[in-house]
């Protein structure tokens, strides 16, 4: 996006990429359907960035979700709004959009140099860059530099976080990278782990009350894993749960297994004793509960609790799951942390490194899935590109 802004101003742009081909993480984002943005009201959209919404607001004001849809349309990619309000390309794929985009850039003074791993600066000069390539080390002198090095998740796609010590060594404030939109570890019993890993838990509502008073409640589904839990609902609360674990060693969430039934309805339904029926048969007949939900109850309730109608009903409505750790950052969809906005000016230039701009996930912000990640990455890229253009003009590199 930064290269596009500069090339539109007739600036020659060189893109140096560590990977053999461009946009690998972008392609992964489209593996299950490329969710490029969201159609909700803009104020609601901005609220999804939480504590970072005020910082990102002017950036997204200049490239809002509707602007992103128009940008895709100009590339020949039509979009549609899904039932959840999420926005997708009509064919749901990332590859056609990326091909059209790269084709347009290559025809507009943008040159791509692959397998160039950035190694920092030469002689501490902000715009003299060192790269490791298959042909050996290269030094590149630039008029302005835009770093878009990603976060710390999915290292095999290029987001290694190897840039962090390079910037810290230059005195730049970098908040430690952490997993975001991630799964969590849970101490499942061996039986539950062995029989239910990989199974979805559908039509539930998860609630979480953080120790600082912040509350979360949302309906949806999640996935049981061998190590714990993951999936849409879990990713949405991941930032809250991660911070709770850091402060208190665990985060306890509660799952309503029957969100369409009230506690009173359940109490009436289970007023009669189950006698000799097994708990599984009893729940299947009374509630049509599926196997994985029954297994979650068994994982939580003692034998005495299973025989107590009150305890059974309250657990159905508020089943506790203790999250004890995030999964490793390399498994996360995205990462939190990065270059502090305090180290940047309003055009995303590093104050201590004149002529060096930053964009994307390497900045210190995070957002849930739903198009928010990609939209902010696009928007920060455009802001950095515009900032670099202004810098070049101020330095009389161009007239």
pLDDT, tens digit, for every residue of 358-375? Answer: 999 999 999 999 999 999
Determine contact, residues 347/357, Cβ cutoff 8 Å: yes
Distance CA 139, CA 137 (A): 7
Query: How many other CB atoms are found less than 10 A from the CB of residue 115?
Result: 15
Q: What percent of the chain has pLDDT over 90?
A: 87
Domain 2-180+329-394 sits in which CATH superfamily? Answer: FAD/NAD(P)-binding domain (3.50.50.60)
Place 395 in a pLDDT band, splitting at 50, 70 and 90: confident
3-state secondary structure 52-121: HHHHHHHHHHCCCHHHHHHHHHHCCCCEEECCCCEEEECCCCCHHHHHHHHHHHHCCCEEEECCCEEEEE
Mean pLDDT confidence for 272-299: 85
Q: What pLDDT score was predicted for residue 32? A: 81
Q: What pLDDT score was predicted for residue 145? A: 98
Q: What pLDDT score was predicted for residue 288? A: 85
Q: What is the pTM of this model?
A: 0.91
pLDDT, tens digit, for every residue of 196-240? Answer: 999 999 999 999 999 999 999 999 999 999 999 999 999 999 999
DSSP states of 176-238: EEEEES--EE----HHHHHHHTT-EEEEEEEEEE-TTS-EEEEEEEEEE-SSEEESHHHHHTH
Give me the sheet containing 215-224, strands edge to edge: 319-323, 251-256, 200-209, 215-224, 228-230, 184-185, 325-326
Q: What is the mean pLDDT of the chain?
A: 94
Three-state SS for 141?
Answer: strand
Place 397 in a pLDDT band, splitting at 50, 70 and 90: low
Between 189-203, 246-260, 304-318, 329-343, the lowest mean confidence (pLDDT) is in: 304-318
Determine contact, residues 80/34, Cβ cutoff 8 Å: no
Mean pLDDT confidence for 13-20: 97
| Most distant CA atoms of the chain, gap in Å | 88
**In the chain, where are the structural domains located?**
2-180+329-394, 184-326
């Amino acid at each position: 996006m930064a290269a596009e802004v500069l090339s539109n101003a007739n600036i020659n742009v060189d893109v140096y990429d560590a990977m053999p081909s461009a946009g690998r993480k972008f392609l992964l984002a489209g593996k299950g359907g490329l969710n490029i943005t969201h159609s909700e009201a803009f104020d609601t959209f901005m609220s999804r960035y939480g504590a970072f919404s005020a910082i990102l607001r002017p950036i997204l004001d200049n490239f809002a979700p509707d602007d992103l849809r128009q940008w895709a349309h100009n590339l020949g990619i039509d979009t549609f709004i899904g039932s959840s309000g999420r926005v997708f390309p009509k064919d749901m794929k990332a590859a056609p959009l990326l091909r059209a985009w790269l084709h347009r850039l290559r025809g507009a003074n943008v040159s791509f140099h692959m397998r160039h791993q950035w190694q920092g600066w030469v002689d501490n000069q902000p715009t003299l860059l060192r790269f490791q390539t298959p042909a050996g080390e290269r030094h590149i002198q630039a008029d302005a530099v835009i770093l878009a090095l990603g976060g710390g998740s999915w290292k095999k796609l290029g987001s290694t976080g190897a840039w962090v010590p390079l910037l810290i060594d230059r005195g730049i404030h970098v908040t430690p990278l952490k997993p975001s939109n991630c799964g969590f570890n849970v101490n499942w019993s061996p039986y539950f782990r062995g029989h239910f890993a990989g199974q979805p838990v559908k039509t539930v509502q998860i609630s979480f009350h953080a120790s600082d008073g912040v509350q979360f409640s949302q309906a949806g589904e999640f996935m049981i894993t061998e190590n714990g839990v993951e999936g849409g609902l879990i990713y949405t609360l991941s930032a809250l749960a991660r911070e709770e674990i850091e402060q208190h060693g665990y985060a306890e969430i509660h799952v309503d297994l029957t969100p369409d039934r009230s506690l009173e309805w359940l109490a009436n339904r289970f007023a009669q004793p189950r006698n000799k029926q097994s708990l599984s048969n009893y729940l299947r007949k009374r509630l049509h509960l599926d196997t994985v939900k029954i297994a979650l109850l068994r994982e939580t309730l003692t034998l005495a609790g299973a025989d107590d109608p009150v305890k059974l009903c309250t657990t159905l409505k508020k089943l506790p799951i203790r999250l004890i750790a995030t999964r490793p950052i390399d498994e996360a969809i995205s990462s939190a942390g990065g270059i502090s906005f305090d180290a940047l000016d309003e055009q995303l230039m590093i104050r201590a490194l004149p002529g060096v701009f930053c964009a994307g996930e390497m900045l210190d912000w995070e957002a849930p899935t739903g198009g928010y990640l990609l939209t902010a990455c696009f928007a920060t890229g455009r802001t950095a590109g515009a900032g670099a253009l202004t810098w070049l003009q101020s330095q009389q590199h161009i007239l």
